[in-house]
Structure 1
């Protein structure tokens, strides 16, 4: 399951055997991970976040979880609470009754196409097709959406069975762990669903029932979040129920109809298309006297910000707004998240045609733009006097003729500078590089990739882009929080 560029995963936690013992340190750590993933206040955009002791109270969050599941609200890690935590479930955060994703993303056309690109050997292809069609039908029965399977090209919903790394930056973990995940409605990966091939997929109560998992995942792909109603398909925990004559629960139905409205069951097409339509005679166009040729375009149009393959040249915050640079243009996203504007770089900062890397140093109200073998100092919309200057000012070796990415880390007062698989740490206070650098990105910053194309800091987290994928990173803990697509910042839903 996935919200926007984010994976939301069905997780099976190993069941505890026999009597549940009193909490041990290992159980407490597992519980903290559980509460952080499903009940912390980080919101739906970061379901796989780590435990944030500085932001969340363990006891308070535990009480929220106990209240959600109808347990005695003690704020203590008692046996009943541990038992509920051990149940198989989906990895999406928990809410009351039905819910939708932030911004209520939904499909805005009546016919949604889907394609299964890789099948599981556990079932024959016909059975897989039937299970997916049945899962979609439980929704099309109650909302005015129709679904059509296609067998080539790019569909609205792309589905596949694959284990481990399956090219979406959220690798599966083998049998018995993550079962599947999907993406909420939108461009690119929006609506796609991936199923872990290491599971044993069945159509019965044994193994993992494909219809039930698919119906739950496709609920997320239509824009549904989780429900507190235990009989709902969108309830967090996975549980087998009979699939014969399956219908959505009242809560699921209300949730999906709140997005799409109700299907008029009595409505039928009033006419059928004529199998042999006669060509319509079009009026002859009036002769125009020697039209002038179309003028040449005055400037190159900006890149497509909603492309799933969008790669940033650079990214940084400037005076509270995020700026994303690409091919001589930049998109500006204000701190109020109220829209995206686009402009040419040179129209705002004359003399600067391209930005390879950028970072903001708030202590001096300066933004640094790297362009080739030199850099610029910026204050707001003003290029500071005395620039450009050579990048050798940063103690970079002479072999470095271009910087790939840079980001200032406030709590260390260091700027990380990335070049071809390695990075340096620049001490802003002393104006020199730290000793022991460069270091290898893939080793020291495990999980963000082998190269960094752009980097920026936002709300306490670092964001590293490698190609069109991006990693949200907790630098103090050296830990990946989640992965997404670059266009997740572009308000494309």
Structure 2
């Protein structure tokens, strides 16, 4: 086998591994029976995360847990739609009136939880155009016949006139209230989610899960999808109750956390002998924190330096020159020397690290200390050539002496320094405009009056005001979802 064949084999194995990781099936790196079964399920044609292309990104976007956004969204709240063609395959016994009602109901799934409004028009070009076709049907992505790809959609702001459009495979049998074949309402609601800027979620039973999940007689939009779409467009009714505090200033609002990690689909922040759990942005479970030992036991030390979820799903906590291993909240081992993370013949990672950031699908983790960053290969147990290097050279706009770093379910990286945070855009590889902002306001749901006017680390009240008045939505360069 020559070098090119070896590279192609490695790329294929990595793609299969990422597919298995996304769907939560046993990771073998090979196309086994379980993997084939998942691949053969009828599904949306938007690609799942795959191997990175030349610029380091994959067609379907980087692998994320829970909902994920594509980066593009509509810059207006009133959108028009038009049904250009109706299904010719009438085995589902759907009339044109049935299709009209089903599509309108699919749009209401999203307008019920956001400020978006959808108006149907019948003549001129609409913002979102829906059509039925089979095989080669007018774009570059033909359908594959019955019981394969069910439909596809285009993101807002992509591919010119196709932006936001939805195409259904007319070789499929779409039904209305039947457990056989494919429910048009559920397929349409999923595709419209893409038209509005959502990517696939790997949360089973979510609407944006890639595989068709069967007819649901009583449909309610799952929380995972609601949180995702409200991240892009806000809520029609405020997004549910914000935290309320009965007395005094909530303790979490004024914390400069020593470690923050995105662990098992939730944010965990640590300071002293407490942790704060944030299932979704702005909605912590307890604004005053909970004792570490209540969840992690007595072995975990106070004031951990950093934490991350390793590619093998272990949780790794760092303190001084040591690290500790947990499986969820079950203690596995430690303290172990940080020097043991690299092979004896390799340079060691630093002690007393400031922050750690992992790209688990690529088995790559970054360690930060002072003004330097180390890139660590999880498989080779070695530091990558050319590292350590200056943080700003690898992550443009990110400051030195960080306190935490993690990747969130919106596809962005969040760097914390004291009480403020920076959102790093992976596509353009720089910190976004409008940052830093106060972490307490955006992620803990704090009010401006809950925060001190002048932080010990020099953060002024002006940042607090900025956090209240301005919330930047990610401006990632769009990625086409070919369905």
For Structure 1 versus Structure 2, the TM-score category normalised by the shorter chain is: 0.3 to 0.5
Whose radius of gyration is greater, 1 or 2?
1
TM-score, with structure 2 as normaliser: 0.42
Taking structure 1 as the reference length, the TM-score comes to 0.41
| Bigger fraction of residues in helix | 2
